[in-house]
Amino acid sequence: MIYVVFVEPETPGNIGFLARTMKNFGLSDMVLINPCQLENESYYQAMHAREVVRNAKVYNSIPEFLEAEKIDFTVGTTGEAGGSYNLPRIAVTPDKFAENLNLTGKMALLFGREGNGLSNDEIELCDVIVTIPTHEDYPIMNITHAAAIVLYEIFKKKKSYPREELEEASKVEKDGLIGTMDDIVEKLGYPEHKSKNASLVFRRIIGRAFISGREAHTLKGTLRRINERLLEK
């Protein structure tokens, strides 16, 4: 069981946004620590996750919550990870955390205040700290953006979800595309070195692309029409 804990949220809208993010990844147990007043904006921004806000549990402090809910494992999040000598703030990335997660009891995932995150005392209550690498020009993420990244990594590990598998184009189909493009380039009258470069670039693009068999078929049809028009001139 995973509790998503928002510590002292300052704006009702962010509570709603977090609820939506939670529902995106199949979570419904929200906890609010000493929150601002819940207003219509919380429910409005939650959209189809209003029940997550409606059923949220409210506590005055993190220790009170941890004791009341008998939490087995507490995870803190921070935008200010420490180095090797700042032991309380030594952190792992969300993918590393999810990769090693073996959830068997109750886990609390703490997200700090919009302004200054979790305090050092609150960080010390946690069993593990997670941080998201960001650019130094703007290192602190919005609470709901950070939650989306962390919850997605957990979801990938914890859940299987239905999706239609991509039927990737075969080598024969890709080679057919490249051959048709080579015919077109040849008809354009490029100098030999330019023709070679154009062919190479197209081959590399197709090689890197996760192109489906259907996409390859459609693209080849378009290139064939171009080739035919060039023959008419």
Give the C-alpha distances (Å, rounded to integers) separating 10 from 14, 15, 27, 35, 195.
8, 9, 22, 7, 61
Determine whether domain 2-158 maps to CATH 3.40.1280.10: yes
pLDDT by position in tens, the chain (length 233): 999 999 999 898 999 999 999 999 999 999 999 998 888 888 878 888 899 999 999 999 999 999 999 998 899 998 766 554 455 557 889 998 888 787 778 999 999 998 888 898 998 888 888 988 888 888 778 889 999 999 999 998 766 555 555 577 888 888 899 899 999 988 888 888 888 888 888 887 887 776 888 888 899 999 999 988 888 76
Q: What tokens were used for 223? A: 């290139």
> What CA dihedral angle connects 41, 42, 43 and 47, to 10 degrees?
90
**Phi and psi for 161 in degrees, rounded to 5?**
-135, 145
What number of CA atoms fall less than 13 Å from residue 184's CA on the CB side?
19
pLDDT confidence of residue 166? 59
Residues of the chain with CATH 3.40.1280.10: 2-158
Is 124 within 8 Å of 91 (Cβ atoms)? no
Cα angle at 221 between 220 and 225, to 5 degrees?
A: 115
Concatenate the DSSP letters of all residues of 45-76 into one string: HHGGGHHHHHT-EEESSHHHHHHHTT-SEEEE
